[in-house]
Amino acid sequence: MSVLHYLDQGQGRPLVILHGLFGTLDNWQSLARRWATEAGLRVISADLRNHGRSFQTNEHSYELMANDVRALLDHLGLGDDVTLMGHSMGGKAAMRLALHHPEHLARLIVVDIAPRYSDMEHQDDIIAGLQAIDLSKITNRQEADAALAQYIPQLGVRQFLLKNLYRKEDNSFAWRINLDALTTNLRAIGEETTGPVPFLKPALFIRGGKSRYITTEDKLHGIPALFPNSQVATVPDAGHWVHAEAPDEVYELVRAFTTAGPA
C-alpha cells in the first residue's frame, strides 16, 4: 500500500495535520512550523489521496482516507499519544478514524466541519471553473486565473485553487489534484460521519464565527452525541478557512489543547 506524502518537522508530542478539499499540506505550513519550533511538537503534515504529492486513485471515500492515515501513523511508528487534526474534508477523515480506530489517537481536533451531512452543491462552481481551464492551451497562471474568474469572483479562492497548478518538465501545466476523481466522488465527500461507538477521548472543534459549517444544533447535539468529551471554540472574526484568517488564535488553541495533560 502506498504511503501518503508527508512533511515531518520538530520533536515532541506528535500532531498530525490533514488539509481540506482541493488543499495540500502547504496550506498549513506557517502554523506547522510554529507548532514545531515554538510549541515543542513533532508536526506531521500530510497530503490526502488525490491531493498534493500523494498517490492518485479513482476511489475517494472517508473510509479509504482514514485507512490511508492509519497506514501513515503505522509507517511513522508514532505510538498512541497522537493528536490528529483535520480541516473540513480532512476533519471528516479525522473524525472517521477517531470513531472507528480510537486506539490510534490520544486526542482529536476538527477545524470548521461537523459530522452531519454537508450539501456539496456550493462546490459546483469550483468544479466547473477548474474544468473550464484548458491545460493544453494556457501558457501562464494569469490565463488560468482569467478562465477561473468566470466562475469564481473571489480572488482569494482562486489563488487557493491555483496552488494546485504546476509546470511539468515539458513546460506544460497539470493539476496536482485528481480533478476527475474528486468530481466523480464529490457527493461522497459530503456524507455524514458515523461510528459504532462515540469517541470518548478529548476532542476540540474550532469553529469560524462567520462560517456556517458548525451550527448551534451541531454544537448542542450532533457533536456531543459522537464526541461527548468535546469542546467547541469559536474564533469570532474568521470564516471557513479559520487557520488562514486567524492564525494566532488557532495556534494558541491547538498549542494549549495538544500540550495539556501528561506527556
Q: pLDDT tens string for the chain (263 positions)?
A: 699 999 999 999 999 999 999 999 999 999 999 999 999 999 999 999 999 999 999 999 999 999 999 999 999 999 999 999 999 999 999 999 999 999 999 999 999 999 999 989 889 999 999 999 999 999 999 999 999 999 999 999 999 999 999 999 999 999 999 999 999 999 999 999 999 999 999 999 999 999 999 999 999 999 999 999 999 999 999 999 999 999 999 999 999 999 987 65
Nine-digit cell at 212?
Answer: 456556517
CB 258 within 8 Å of CB 39: yes
User: Which residue has 496536482 as its cell numbers?
Assistant: 176
Helix (H, G, I), strand (E, B) or coil at 123: helix
- 107-111 vs 83-87, strand pairing mode: parallel
Q: At what angle do helices 29-37 and 247-259 cross, to 10 degrees?
A: 40
In eight-state DSSP terms, residue 221 is: I
- Per-residue pLDDT, 260: 87
| Residues that are catalytic | 88, 180, 240
